[in-house]
Amino acid sequence: MRIIKRGTSVLIILLLIFSFSSCSKKEAQKNKSPSGADAGPLPQSSAEIPGEAELPELADAIARFSREMEMADIHPDSKAFVEDFLRWIFGEAGIPDKLAVKVAASVLESPAFFMEFFTIFNQDPYTYYLVDKNHPLPDGYEPDDLVPLTAGTYRLSRNDLMLRKIAAEALQEMAEAAAAEGITLTVGSSYRSAAYQAQVYEREVKTYGKETADRESAQAGKSQHQLGLVVDFAPIDDAFAKTPASEWLLRNAGRFGWSLSFPDNYEEITGYRWESWHYRFVGKDLAAFIDAYFDGIQQYALQFIHTWQEQATE
């Protein structure tokens, strides 16, 4: 999987944004900061741009950029550039224009969006890997750190369930928090190999027909379950939405790095009908990022990340 060059790509974008208003800002900067002591100069050449893994330098550069924009009162041309750029990349990712405008406003207000965004790339890459009907996992992918789930704080519908270690630990942490509030979570399904997913899909097709099956079950290689980062909480049907466990998860899952994959009324976006029971571990940083900038819709955020990576490596 291609991973974006963390420092270089975003600074190039920020430098482009900055250049749109640099001429009109100079006079304002002289008036407001005669000595220039409040904000150091931004890099002026690629040689000065921080390297791929130098996140602290990137954060400093973005903070300096933000201060410069503040002192200059942000020229309208810069606002237009930010909105146009984000609308373009959001458009490429199939994300609504209203979210592009929302993120553009955040970018102009502070460096928080990009700082939070690039923090995500320090995570395991499969926590933000886009897996859907159009984006399969690599052929033969199988997690190498699966661990068996053990009933205790949470219940198990079967005794052969597994998750990747990072997800299993996050599940335990979340289940303990739920139990402290009188909620017991029950795991009905978790990791599925490509071979097992093929059996599930074929069974759904035979039982309900292909059209219905495609709304509810993924083909082999295209299921989030194969990541080893997904839990289906029981009961695995629409009745789950009315349980105390579902209500608790909707309020709290993000705090522990879990995100609802297939929310109600988003089938056109996700490819699957509402599954109130299907949660994916994406990590605490990405879960917060999804909620803050993408209206809690996991698919939008993952499509944005995927598109950014694609554009950054072309």
User: Quick one: 290 exposed, middle or buried, by C-beta within 10 A (0-12, 13-18, 19+)?
Assistant: buried
DSSP string, 145-207: -EEE---SSSEESSS--EEEHHHHHHHHHHHHHHHHTT---EEEE----HHHHHHHHHHHHHH
Is 34 within a domain?
Answer: yes
Q: For 250-272, what is the mean pLDDT? A: 98
Are residues 25 and 59 part of one domain?
A: yes
Rounded percentage of the chain residues whose pLDDT exceeds 90: 63
Number of domains in the chain: 2
Is 86 within a domain?
Answer: yes
At 155, give phi and psi (nearest 5°).
Answer: -100, 160
pLDDT of residue 109: 81
pLDDT of residue 62: 53
Which residue, 63, 92, 123, sits at the end of a domain?
123
- The pLDDT tens digits of the residues spanning 13-70 come to 554 444 443 333 344 444 443 333 333 333 333 333 333 344 555 556 555 555 555 5
Is 205 within a domain?
Answer: yes
Are residues 178 and 230 part of one domain?
A: yes
Is 301 within a domain?
Answer: no
Are residues 262 and 213 part of one domain?
A: yes
Please report, for the domain that includes residue 171, its CATH number: 3.30.1380.10
Are residues 84 and 173 part of one domain?
A: no
Are residues 150 and 261 part of one domain?
A: yes
Residue 185 lies in domain: 146-281
Is 187 within a domain?
Answer: yes
- Interior/surface letters 177-195, b for 16+ CB within 10 angstroms, e for the rest: bbeeeebebbbbbbbbbbe
- H or E stretch at 258: strand 258-262
Is 82 within a domain?
Answer: yes
- The pLDDT tens digits of the residues spanning 155-166 come to 999 999 999 999
Q: For 131-137, what is the mean pLDDT? A: 97
Are residues 268 and 197 part of one domain?
A: yes
